Amino acid sequence: MRLGGGLLVVLAVGAAGAGYWVLAGVVLAAVVAAVVSRLPALGDTPLERYVGAFTRLALVVVQAIVFGAYVVPAQPAYAGAGLVLVVAVADLAGLRLPAALTRWLTVVLIAAAVVLIVLCAVVAPVVTSTPIGTPSPAAVVVSALITLPFLLPVAPDRVSLRALTLGGLAVLVTIVALVQLGPDRLGLSATSIRDLLYAADAGQLQPLLTVVVVLATVPATLTTFTDARERYAPERGWESAAGIVLALAAALFASPYAVLVAAGLGTVVELVLRARNRRYRVAHE
């Protein structure tokens, strides 16, 4: 579910910096996600706990920012912070999403992505004069960095297949978005996916997009927050409270770019720690 909300802002931020080469960044992230998908989970050392919690709180803030920007555009920061607060209260109250509901939501979001791809594929794009330009390695790496956290599978089963599926969807959505809007319009604002519907002659689906955004962000925010608290701060009340305050402040004041880069850097550090754990296990077998 993370990918649904993440793509709504990742493509805009990536295109603003890398232009057409955001596609190379998404492909690179998809390849990396597939390669590292079978690494063991983080351990329980203090460093691993803090890195895991930091990364997931950053993802919570990303989902909250997307929710605010798309659902309550008049007051996006307050709406995003409100979602963080509601999710924190719901988690502490013991609310958990049934596994069956999570699976159905994933199916719905995949179907929504497929519909978007088909709509954009059957409508001729407006001719754009934006040149492809010379690739900037730094911009491509940043695009991959901010995309990677949303392509890593959460569930441990069949992770390679999940990573390939998520990566393929992300690449296809990136292609149709670039073809229909071009990098300039795609990177114009954090909510440029709304423009993508208009470009595909599907402006009447804007209310449906709002529903999809809610389905993509609210459950993902809850499950990610719960994962952060239960796995990396169990029975540590002060750490949970500090995480909530940090997430609220970030939702209110941080830019999407800053939060995405923070999530990406946290993910890279987490992967390094997971690779270290794998080498340790191999060495002791």
151 token code pair: 């392509």
Domain count, the chain: 1
> Is this prediction's pTM over 0.75?
yes
What is the residue-level pLDDT of the chain in tens, covering all 285 positions? 678 888 899 999 999 989 999 999 999 999 999 888 888 888 888 888 889 989 999 999 999 999 999 999 999 999 999 999 999 999 988 899 898 888 899 889 999 999 889 988 888 776 566 667 777 899 999 999 999 999 987 655 445 677 788 889 999 999 999 988 888 888 888 888 888 888 877 778 888 999 999 999 999 999 999 988 887 765 556 577 888 899 999 999 999 999 999 999 999 999 999 988 777 665 555
In angstroms, the CA 40 to CA 148 distance is 17
Domain enclosing residue 188, as ranges: 2-283
CATH number of residue 140's parent domain: 1.20.1740.10
Residue 148: name the closest of 27, 23, 249 by CA.
27
